[in-house]
Amino acid sequence: MSHSYRMTPAGGKSDPSQPSVQEMTVKSWINSPSAEDGPASGKLKPGMVRPIVLQARLAEGSYTLSSRATDTAGNVQPEARCENHSGYTNTSWPDHAVKITVA
């Protein structure tokens, strides 16, 4: 493939000489607050996503919710982003945080 999923510098144009993205680092993110309850169960295969639900009673105020994953090999989701064109490899946990306000 001569385009997508290449480690192209931010603002650059994809080129076949650039390395392809072969795998992603460990990643966790919060999509949004949800009314669902109960965590998912069962064993996951590599690359699968497991939804996790956290129930919490929060006092009024503003909060930033974030999650950081660690896989079974001990690899921890990075805090700093890896800048590249299209952001394919951005697995930084602060960039995937959700800001909420409890009234």
- For the chain, give every domain's residue range: 24-103
| pLDDT over threshold 50, residue 1 | no
CATH 1.10.10.10 fits 24-103, yes or no: no
Mean pLDDT of 87-99: 83
Q: Phi and psi at residue 102, in whole multiples of 5°?
A: -100, 125
pTM of the shown model:
0.62
Q: What average pLDDT score do residues 81-86 get? A: 74
Q: What is the pLDDT of residues 42-73, one digit of tens each?
A: 566 666 666 777 788 999 999 999 989 888 88
As a whole number of angstroms, the distance between CA 83 and CA 87 comes to 7
Residue 46's pLDDT is 66
